[in-house]
Amino acid sequence: MKPAGTLHLIPVGLGASVPALWLPQAAQELASRLTTYIAENAKTARAFLKLIGTVSPLQEITIHTLDNKVDAQRMRAWLKPLMEGGEIGLVSEAGCPAVADPGAKVVAVAHAMGIRVAPWVGPSSILLSLMASGLDGQRFAFHGYAPVDPAARAQQLKTWEIDSHKYEQTQILIETPYRNDAMFQALKQALKGSTRLCIARSLTTHDELIQTHSVADWKTQPAPDLAKKPTIFLFLAGR
Amino acid sequence: MKPAGTLHLIPVGLGASVPALWLPQAAQELASRLTTYIAENAKTARAFLKLIGTVSPLQEITIHTLDNKVDAQRMRAWLKPLMEGGEIGLVSEAGCPAVADPGAKVVAVAHAMGIRVAPWVGPSSILLSLMASGLDGQRFAFHGYAPVDPAARAQQLKTWEIDSHKYEQTQILIETPYRNDAMFQALKQALKGSTRLCIARSLTTHDELIQTHSVADWKTQPAPDLAKKPTIFLFLAGR
């Protein structure tokens, strides 16, 4: 028999802003009545639950912490109640769970157990920045982080630029916020002048900034203030 | 001086389901009060506006149709009112605008004119399927369509599988719905048994189906019913 329960993948906010801006009503209602969560960070999960409001008192909600010590056996124990019915929420530190975060492992275990997985709509800085970049979204790749070593980084950016040209593919990367300025400089130095570069900062918040220019034009512009602010970098080689 | 207007990127539904499931309240309110839209297809744009309800009567709302005859000059004319203030909405045929659709060109023109671009949260079958697949979301690539010719298709799928293994990258592709069954067969034949394959069908609707198995396991399972249903295919090579 098919398991009766559901693992709900619930997006959380990207920064300080009201849920009505980034979470559909039905997702908010569902999230507010679940009493068991799996979260990368219990503290941010509680802050999310406080923000959306919960039907049960917050202290009665179980939060399993998904750190890197958690193995598949533990995940199976967490998900076991779903074999009989019931519902559990999975949340990330920011944005959509199981995209560029360890939540994918929990989802994989759920699939192996035959449990239904329900993804909810919510904010993804990768997707929002791609939409807003004006770069060709017909093909794109998200690479996570570039190498930190300057020479290796320059080499990697050039390789991605060659692929971008070859496949008409938008390249998307992130950086640890305190290294954003260094990344911006590295992109300006490594890429061709005709490559279009989009900087998307602090999405969905009052501090949101999204600008796309050619690398040649960026060199004549004042650099945006990216210090310690979550930023996505996207580029597409000219043709 | 900086232009005062905003181009709003407004997601529409992926299939038959209520907006409370897939559109945040603030996005719905904003979309219901805009009086000018740019849309790939005026008919589906009107259906969306009818679904969410509009402040002005529907027949008073201007919809510019973005077909492939529209050049940059026409787009600039459409966006010109935003230089003085005002707001225009951009919608796609389904899901998030400017991702895998021609809307990106309008966004690019807006950036060139210095107009603010505001991306709103909404459903993306690419992102929802990636979340729900349980495949590693740390790195991923969306390729659009694979070649139609069987030999070229098999070769391309194998190449993407090699890249998937090399870069630990989830590969994401779509197919014209009437060719979904052929694509599913091609994936089972071309990929290794240890590669994990996710099929995500009819997302956000009552017909939603999301299953991930190894290719070896898919071969022993009944094939899901994908005929004429929007489906995303995702795979990650085993390591």
The interface residues of chain A toward chain B in range 71-90, judged by CB-CB distance below 8 A, are none
Q: Cβ A138–B117 below 8 Å, yes or no?
A: no
C-alpha distances out from residue B130 to A123, B49, B232, Å = 14, 28, 9
Interface ipTM: 0.95
Q: Round to whole Å and give the CA distance between A155 and A132.
A: 27
Tokens standing for residue B120? 């709103």
- From residue A117, alpha-carbon distances to A5, A135, B129, B163, B227 in Å are 9, 31, 10, 27, 22
Instruction: Report the gap between the CA of A123 and the closest CA in chain B (Å).
Output: 6
**pLDDT by residue (tens digit) across B69-94?**
999 999 999 999 999 999 999 999 99
| Side-chain half-sphere CA neighbours of A165 within 13 A | 12
In the structure, what pLDDT confidence band is assigned to residue A4 with cuts at 50, 70 and 90? confident
Quick one: pLDDT at residue A136?
79
Tell whether B131 lies on the interface with A, counting CB pairs under 8 A: yes
Q: Which residues on chain B are in Cβ contact (under 8 Å) with A106?
A: 134
The helix/strand/coil state of A19 is helix
Residue A31 is which amino acid? A
Question: What local confidence, expressed as pLDDT, does residue A138 receive?
Answer: 85
Minimal Cβ distance to B22: which of A20, A121, A133:
A121
Asked if B140's CB is within 8 angstroms of A134's CB, the reply is no
Instruction: Please state which CATH number belongs to domain A6-119.
Output: 3.40.1010.10
pLDDT at B136: 80
Asked if the model's pLDDT at residue A239 lies above 90, the reply is no
H or E element at residue B24:
none
Tell me the pLDDT tens digit for each residue of B115-150: 999 999 999 999 999 999 999 878 999 999 999 999
Return the structure tokens found at B210: 């999301």
- The predicted-structure confidence for A70-108, as pLDDT tens digits, reads as follows 999 999 999 999 999 999 999 999 999 999 888 999 999
Among B27, B136, B143, select the one facing A104 at the smallest CB separation: B136
- Say which residues have a Cβ less than 8 Å from residue A40's Cβ, sequence separation at least 6: A65, A66, A67, A91, A92, A93, A101, A102, A103
Q: How far is CA A124 from the centre of its chain?
A: 5
Pairing between strand A36-39 and A62-65? parallel
Inter-chain touch B20–A19, beta carbons under 8 Å:
no
Sequence ranges of chain A with CATH classification 3.40.1010.10: 6-119
Q: Which CATH number fits domain A125-236: 3.30.950.10, 3.40.309.10, 2.40.340.10, 3.40.50.300?
A: 3.30.950.10
Alpha-carbon torsion (B93, A234, B85, A202), positive or negative: positive
What was the pLDDT predicted at B106? Answer: 97
Neighbouring CB atoms inside 10 A of A227's CB total 10
Query: pTM of this prediction?
Result: 0.96
For chain B, give the mean pLDDT. 95
Check CB contact under 8 Å for B134 and A104. Answer: yes
Distances (CA, A) of A113 to B38, B137, B212, B213, B221: 45, 20, 11, 11, 15
Q: Is the pLDDT of residue B16 over 80?
A: yes
Work out the pLDDT band at B189, boundaries 50, 70, 90.
very high
pLDDT tens digit string along A38-72? 999 999 999 999 999 999 999 999 999 999 899 99
d(CA B111, CA B130): 29
Q: Is the pLDDT of residue A165 over 90?
A: yes
Give the residue carrying structure tokens 């996570």: A144
Which residue in chain A has the smallest CA separation from B100? A138
The type of residue at B12 is: V
Q: Which of residues 187-206 of B touch A (CB under 8 A)?
A: 196, 203-204
pLDDT digit string (tens) for B21-39?
999 999 999 999 999 999 9
- Does residue B174 have a pLDDT over 90? yes
Q: Which residue of chain B has the CA closest to A21?
A: B26
Domain with CATH 3.30.950.10 in chain A: 125-236
Confidence of residue B1 (pLDDT cuts 50, 70, 90): low
Residue A68 CB neighbour total at 10 angstroms: 8
pLDDT value at residue B101: 85
CA distance A62 to chain B (A): 22
Give CA angle at A101 (A42, A85), nearest 5°: 65
CA atoms within 13 A on the CB side of A162: 6
| Nearest CB to B26; choose among A21, A100, A108 | A21
Q: What is the pLDDT of residue A1?
A: 57
Among B127, B129, B169, B197, the strongest candidate for a mutation testing the A interface, having the largest count of A CBs within 10 A, is B127
Nearest Cα of chain A lies from the Cα of B62 at a distance, in angstroms, of: 22
- The pLDDT, as a whole number, for residue B239 is 76
List the 25-54 stretch of A: residues with Cβ below 8 A of B: 25-27
| Three-state DSSP state, A63 | strand
Query: HEC string of B25-70?
Result: HHHHHHHHHCCEEEECCHHHHHHHHHHHCCCCCHHHCEEEECCCCC
User: Number of helices and strands (H, E) in chain A?
Assistant: 8, 10
User: Which residues 111-130 of B have a C-beta within 8 angstroms of A?
Assistant: 111, 116-119, 121-124, 126-130
Mean pLDDT of B93-99: 92
Q: Quote the CA–CA distance of A211 and A209 in Å, as a whole number.
A: 7
Residue A167 has pLDDT above 70, yes or no: yes
* Cα within 13 Å of Cα(A23), Cβ side: 26
For chain B, the straight-line distance linking the first and the last C-alpha, in angstroms and rounded, comes to: 54
Residue of chain A nearest B91, judged by CA positions: A131
CA separation for the pair B54, A15 (Å, rounded): 30
